[in-house]
């Protein structure tokens, strides 16, 4: 077994055991992001498989001093864009947004507030995923990386290969796209949640 | 700070991605402006909705399928790569040799044309010299000859 692993490494120049370990520790995280990006399990599996294959191909270029997840996220996002373009499904939806029925408040931002609203959110899981699917791909990525994965703008910029300013703009416009879609397609559920929050 | 500026920066404000001064300016504006407060509340509830989304988990057998398929395909690609590179190299060398051969033959042809042109010019010069000489010997000629003009058939 050891001989075989050493021989494999000589053949490909890649530490297979190390790569496998990283794959096992990060595939669930990658799948969750892939699911939110693609909107269904089949495409999510395809995206993760293709992404890990690319990671394997370029594993020699991976800098171990940096988090593997960031490097993998970058591959997942690039692969997703490639696959979307290949399928000719790249969205160019309007950037307009509207709807102002939230209750007035000026509390400080509270990223942990969501934990108390899981029950209400269950009803919105599907509409939100549909709204994500309808978004422009770059906006969807920025919003998912920042909100669902909880990354800072700088990390999102690094993963998407763009500037922090562009990320800031994409996140803001992406959220507005998302809200416009929810207001239009799930007004009762979304409006109710807005009132509660 | 006007409403437009505040609303454009509300997402960054919610994510605490602004400077302390910018955060304070927006907070002050929100205290005074109900329209911007409404917008902020909307975006805040949307962000809460997204951050609270549950992780999606793959099927139980996905990890094994993924590991096996990636290693197998990756290994197959790695083994195929030298062969592909070899084929590419052979094709590239053949193309280069073919191009060089073509260039060489084009150059030979060009040299041949140049040599023929030079020979034609030499013959034309000799004829011209003969004409001048003949004209100078003709007692009925005043010594002048008609020279061909450019573009003539001579």
3-state secondary structure of A112: coil
- Say what the pLDDT of residue A191 is: 66
- Mention the CATH class of domain A2-87: mainly alpha
pLDDT over threshold 50, residue A25: yes
- In chain B, the residue whose alpha carbon lies closest to the alpha carbon of A122 is B53
pLDDT value for A3: 47
Q: Does domain A113-196 have CATH number 1.10.10.10?
A: yes
Would you say residue A195 has pLDDT above 50? no
Q: Residue B134 above 90 pLDDT?
A: no
Query: CB distance B74–A57 less than 8 Å?
Result: yes
Taking residues B116-134, report their average pLDDT.
Answer: 87
Rounded CA separation A148/B80 (Å): 39
Please check whether residue B20 touches A, CB under 8 A.
no
Taking residues A54-63, what's their average pLDDT? 90
Same domain, B88 and B138: yes
CB < 8 Å to A150, chain B? 51
**pLDDT, position B57:** 92
Q: Is the ipTM of this complex over 0.85?
A: no
Mutate which of B14, B18, B29, B50 to disrupt the A interface (most A C-beta within 10 Å)? B50
CB distance B52–A35 less than 8 Å? no
Q: What is the mean pLDDT of chain B?
A: 85
DSSP letter for each residue of B95-141: HHHHHHHHHHHHHHHHHHHHHHHHHHHHHHHHHHHHHHHHHHH-TTS
DSSP tag of A99:
-
* Number of separate domains in chain B: 2
Q: How many CB atoms are closer than 10 A to CB B151?
A: 6
In a domain, B60, yes or no: no
pLDDT tens-digit readout, A116-143: 344 445 566 788 898 998 888 899 999 9
- pLDDT of the residue at B128: 87
- What is the extent of the structural domain holding B38? 3-51
Domain limits, chain A: 2-87, 113-196
Confidence of residue A7 (pLDDT cuts 50, 70, 90): low
């Amino acid at each position: 077994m050891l001989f075989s692993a050493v021989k494999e490494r000589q053949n490909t120049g890649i530490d297979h055991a190390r790569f496998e370990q990283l794959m096992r520790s990060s595939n669930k995280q990658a799948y969750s992001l892939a699911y939110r990006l693609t909107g269904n399990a089949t495409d999510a599996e395809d995206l993760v498989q293709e992404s890990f294959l690319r990671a394997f191909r370029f594993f020699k270029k991976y800098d171990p001093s940096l988090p593997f997840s960031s490097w993998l996220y970058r591959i997942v996002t690039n692969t997703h864009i490639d696959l979307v373009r290949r399928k000719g499904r790249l969205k160019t939806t309007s950037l307009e947004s509207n709807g102002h029925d939230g209750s007035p408040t000026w509390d400080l931002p509270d990223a942990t507030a969501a934990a108390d609203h899981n029950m209400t959110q269950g009803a919105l899981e599907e509409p939100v995923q549909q709204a994500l699917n309808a978004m422009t791909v770059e906006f969807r990525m920025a919003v998912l990386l920042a909100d669902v994965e909880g990354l800072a703008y700088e990390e999102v910029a690094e993963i998407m290969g763009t500037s922090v300013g562009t990320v800031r703009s994409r996140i803001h416009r992406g959220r507005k796209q998302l809200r416009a879609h929810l207001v239009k397609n799930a007004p009762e559920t979304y409006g109710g949640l807005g009132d509660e929050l | 700070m006007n409403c437009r500026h505040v609303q454009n920066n509300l997402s960054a404000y919610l994510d605490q991605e602004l400077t302390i001064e910018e955060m304070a300016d927006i907070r002050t504006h929100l205290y005074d402006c109900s329209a911007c407060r409404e917008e902020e509340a909307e975006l805040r509830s949307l962000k809460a909705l997204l951050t609270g989304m549950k992780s999606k988990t793959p099927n139980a057998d996905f990890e094994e399928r993924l590991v096996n398929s990636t290693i197998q395909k990756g290994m197959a690609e790695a083994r195929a790569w030298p062969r592909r590179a070899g084929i590419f190299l052979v094709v590239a060398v053949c193309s280069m040799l073919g191009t060089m051969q073509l260039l060489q033959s084009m150059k030979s042809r060009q040299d041949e044309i140049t040599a023929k042109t030079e020979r034609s010019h030499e013959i034309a010069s000799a004829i011209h010299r003969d004409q001048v000489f003949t004209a100078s010997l003709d007692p009925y000629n005043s010594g002048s000859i008609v020279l061909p003009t450019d573009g003539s058939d001579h």
